[in-house]
């Protein structure tokens, strides 16, 4: 049973928006970032409503040109830190877009757990926030 679970590949994308303990808005992406899933990312960040400080794409298994385009759009709105998987790194390099992102080395400490993140609803944020 355990070996079956370890071979299971996530189909689609699981995006998650949260703040870290330093107050940064973090968009975590798990799964496939492609033309069939980028709309989920844009719906989650509310179009131009939310400025993302960090994208954690270390668990992205597949990334297409549409996925990179989505990351470029997020980065255009606000220069963000990008924590990326080998799949994302490969597409960035193939497209020659390495200089367009502020990329964080794979070994960079970035803790993802319940104690360092709190889910938030951007509509509940106060009017004086950075949104």
The structural domains of the chain, ordered by start, are 12-106 (3.30.750.24)
The residue among 131 and 85 whose pLDDT is bigger is 85
Question: Mean pLDDT over residues 45-51, rounded?
Answer: 79
**For 20, which DSSP code?**
-
**Beta strand 81-84 with 118-119: parallel, antiparallel or unpaired?**
unpaired
Q: What is the pLDDT of residue 4?
A: 46
Write down the pLDDT at residue 85.
Answer: 92
Q: What is the mean pLDDT of residues 51-70?
A: 92
Q: Is 126 exposed, middle or buried (0-12, 13-18, 19+ CB in 10 A)?
A: exposed
The residue-averaged pLDDT of 64-85 equals: 92
Please check the confidence at residue 25 and state whether its pLDDT lies above 80.
yes
Mean pLDDT lowest for which of 85-89, 100-104, 106-110?
106-110
- The pTM of the full predicted model, rounded to 2 decimals, is 0.74
The predicted structure's pLDDT at residue 129: 41
- Residue 62 DSSP class: E
DSSP 8-state code for residue 51: -
Strands (E), the chain: 13-19, 25-33, 54-63, 81-84, 102-104, 118-119
- What is the dihedral angle through the alpha carbons of 30, 72, 121, 40, rounded to the nearest 10 degrees? -50
Q: In what order do the strands lie in the sheet with 81-84?
A: 102-104, 81-84, 54-63, 25-33, 13-19, 118-119
What would the mean pLDDT of 17-46 be, rounded to a whole number? 88
Check residue 50 and give its pLDDT.
84
pLDDT at 81 exceeding the cut of 60? yes
Structural contact between residues 32 and 60, judged by C-beta atoms closer than 8 angstroms: yes
- Model pLDDT for residues 5-19, shown as the tens digit of each residue: 444 455 688 888 888
Contact 81, 55 (CB under 8 A): yes
């Amino acid at each position: 049973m355990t070996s079956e679970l370890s071979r299971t590949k996530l189909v689609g994308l699981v995006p998650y928006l949260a703040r870290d303990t330093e107050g940064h808005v973090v968009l975590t992406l798990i799964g496939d970032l492609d033309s069939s899933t980028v709309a989920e990312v844009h719906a989650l960040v509310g179009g131009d409503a939310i400025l993302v400080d960090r994208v954690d794409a270390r668990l992205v298994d597949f990334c297409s040109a549409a996925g990179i385009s989505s990351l470029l759009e997020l980065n255009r709105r606000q220069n963000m830190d990008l924590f990326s998987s080998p799949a994302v790194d490969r597409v960035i390099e193939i497209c020659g877009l390495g200089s367009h992102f502020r990329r964080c080395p794979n070994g960079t400490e970035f803790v993802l757990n319940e104690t360092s993140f709190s889910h938030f609803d951007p509509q509940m944020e106060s009017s004086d926030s950075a949104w």
